[in-house]
Structure 1
Amino acid sequence: MNSIFGNIDDLYLFCCVVEEGSLLAASRKLQLPVSTMSRRLSALESRLNTRLLEKQGRELVATQNGQQAFELLRSGMESIESSFDQLVSDTEEVSGSIKLALPHNFYRGFIAEVVEQFLTDYPKVTLDLVLSQEQAVPQSDRDLLMTFDVTGLDEMIARPLFTAKHAFFASPEYLQSIGQPLTTLEQLPQLDWISVDHIVDIPVYQDDTLVEMLKIHPRLIVNDIISVCAAVEKGLGIASLPFRHVTEEMNLTRVLPQYHRSDRQAYLVYKQRRYQPKALTLFVDALLEGVKNRAKIG
C-alpha cells in the first residue's frame, strides 16, 4: 500500500532507530529482528524516494533529510502513543515509566514522601529519578523537570510549585573579618559571594519595592544549596539563602535585614501534549498536591 496509512508502522520504526541511536537498540526495544527492521526501513526509503538513514561506523544515523523527517514526525508519533494509552487507561492499571530531573535538595525537602507514596499506590509505575542541579530539558512526554529557571522552555508547560523567599546571610566570623560593619547595599558587591548558580545580577527589595540590582562576583559556585549553606557557616563568604534552609542552630547571621532578594519561583516543567500518559498526569497532580500540603505546614 502506498498511502500514508501503509507507512505509519515503518515511520514508527524509523523514529525509534533515531531515538535509540542504533538499529540493534531499536530492535531490542520493539522486540523485532534486525533483518526485519532493515528490510522494512529500506522499503520505506524506496516508497518515499529518499535516504533517511546512512551507515556511520557500525551504526545507522539519520541523513539530513532523515533528521528533518524525524523532527517533523517525533511529536506525531508521541501523540499516537499517548492516544492509545488514553484509550486503554480507564480499563488498565496505571503503568509506565516516568523520568524526573530535580536538585537533590528538592527531593529531600519537598517530594520524597510524595514519590514513595505514589510508588506504593501505583506498583506498576517505574520512576527514574535524576538528582542533579543541571537542567535536563524534557525530551519525551514522560519527562519532568523541577527548576527555578524556565529560560528557553517556552514551548513547555510550566506549573508553579512553590516560592522560595531569600535573604542575605554570613557567619559571625566572616563579618568580623571584614573589619567594618555592613550598613549599606553598596558594600555587598565587594564581599566574597557563594552562589548556587551563575546568576550574578541580584534584584534587592525593601518590602515590596525594588531598590537595587547587585552585581556580585562569586568566589565559590556550588550547585547544591545545602553545600552553599555549609560553606557560608564556615566563614567562606556571604550568600543569598532561602529562609527554609536557615535554622537558629546554624552559624549564620542575617545581613542588612531590612533588605531581601526577590522571591524565586520553582516550576514543574513537562512537554505540552493533548493526551498525557495517565501515570504522568497522576504523578504531576500528586507532586503539586504534596508540595501544596507541605507549604501549609511550613
Structure 2
Amino acid sequence: MNDNKQFNDLYAFVQVAKLGSFTQAASVLNVQPSALSHRMNDLEKRLNIKLLNRTTRSVSTTEAGQQLLERTLPMFISIQEELGALSDYTDKMSGKIRINCPERPAFEIIYPKVRKFLVDNPAVKLEIFINNLYIDIIAERFDFGVRSGKDVAQDMVTVRISDENAMTLVVSPHYINQFGLPHKLQDLTLHRCIVISLNPEYRLNEWEFMQQKQIYKIDVPESIIFNSMDLVKKAAIDGLGITWLPYTSVHSEIQSGQLVTLFPKLQITYPPMYLYYAKNRHKTPAMTTLIESLRWQESQ
C-alpha cells in the first residue's frame, strides 16, 4: 500500500470525523463529497474495520473510529504546529525564543537590553524563565541559557554579556546601630547573616574574599534564608542581618546610604556572565539579532 495514500486517507478521515459531515470535510479538502465517501470506504476495507456510522443526515464515528480519531488528531495538530513554526527560519523577525536565566542577570542584564529588542520586533515571542538551578537547556528545550563562564559546559557556544562580577559585603546602618560592626572577617560568624539559597540542596553560606592575594572562605551562620536575591537585599536594608551580594545589585542602595559596604578592599571578583547555546543549534534571524543586542561591549 502506498504510504502517501494511507496518510492522506487518514487525514481525510480525521476531517470527516471531526466535522461530522462529508460535505464540510470535502470543502476543507477541496474534493467532491462522493469521492471522499469512496475514499473512506476504501480505508475501512484496507483496515478491515468500520470507522464511520453513516446516515442520510449525519456521520459519526464508531467506537474504533473514535479511538483512531483521539489518537491521530493530536498528531496532525502537532504536525501543523511544527510546519507553522518553520516560519521562524525565514528572514522574518518572528518566532519564539526561550531563555533560562538566574534571577540577577535576568533583571540586571537581560531585561534592560531585550526591552528595546521586543519593541523593535513585536512579532517575536520571548520567554525568560528565571531559575537558579543548573539545568540541561537542550533537554528542557531552551534556546539559550545564562551562567557565569566557569559554569558553562565546554561543548557550548558562549557569548559574553556582562562585565566581571564583584561581590560585596553589605549591612544597613540600622543593623550597625543595634549590633555593631564586625572588625575582621572571622567576626561574621558572630553576626546574623542573610543567605541566598540557589536551589533546595545548596545554600550560598560559604562567602569568599581576597586576602593577601588568596581566596579566603568563611562559613557564615544561616540566620535568614531566601531563594530570592531581591528578598535578601530587602532584609538587609531592613536591618535583619549582613549579606553578601553582587555590587551591581546593591550599588544604588550603597550610594543612597541604605546599605554600607564592609571590608571593601577584600571583595572578590568573579568571571563575567555568558549567554550560551548548543553548537548545532540553528539560529533564526530573531535569535541572531537577540544575541547581538545582548553581547557585551568594552565601552559598557
- Alignment TM-score, normalising by the size of structure 1: 0.61
Matched, 1:119 2:123: no
CA contact (8 A) 2:146 2:275 kept: yes
Task: Check 1:101–1:175 CA distance in 2 against 1; reply closer, same or farther (3 A cut).
Answer: same
Match of 1:283 in 2: 290
Question: 5+ unaligned residues in a row in structure 2: which ranges?
Answer: 5-70
CA contact (8 A) 2:149 2:271 kept: no
CA contact (8 A) 2:209 2:268 kept: yes
Taking the aligned partners of 2:130 and 2:217, their CA distance within structure 1 comes to 31
Match of 1:29 in 2: 78
Taking the aligned partners of 1:115 and 1:152, their CA distance within structure 2 comes to 22
Matched, 1:270 2:272: no
Task: Check 1:252–1:28 CA distance in 2 against 1; reply closer, same or farther (3 A cut).
Answer: same
Superimposed CA distance per residue, residues 104-155 of structure 1 (whole angstroms, 9 cap, x where no aligned partner):
5434433334323223333432212223444453127762122348647443
**CA drift at 1:231:** 0.6
Identical columns (%): 20
Matched, 1:237 2:241: yes
Match of 1:199 in 2: 204
Matched, 1:256 2:263: yes
Taking the aligned partners of 1:258 and 1:134, their CA distance within structure 2 comes to 31
Question: 5+ unaligned residues in a row in structure 1: which ranges?
Answer: 7-21, 33-81
Task: Check 1:258–1:129 CA distance in 2 against 1; reply closer, same or farther (3 A cut).
Answer: closer
- Alignment TM-score, normalising by the size of structure 2: 0.60
| CA RMSD after TM alignment | 3.6
Taking the aligned partners of 2:280 and 2:160, their CA distance within structure 1 comes to 18
Match of 1:172 in 2: 173
Highest Rg: 1 or 2? 2
Taking the aligned partners of 2:119 and 2:244, their CA distance within structure 1 comes to 37
Taking the aligned partners of 2:105 and 2:281, their CA distance within structure 1 comes to 28
* Number of matched pairs: 221
Q: Secondary structure at the match of 1:98?
A: strand
Task: Check 1:28–1:138 CA distance in 2 against 1; reply closer, same or farther (3 A cut).
Answer: same
Match of 1:99, as an amino acid?
R
CA contact (8 A) 1:105 1:225 kept: yes
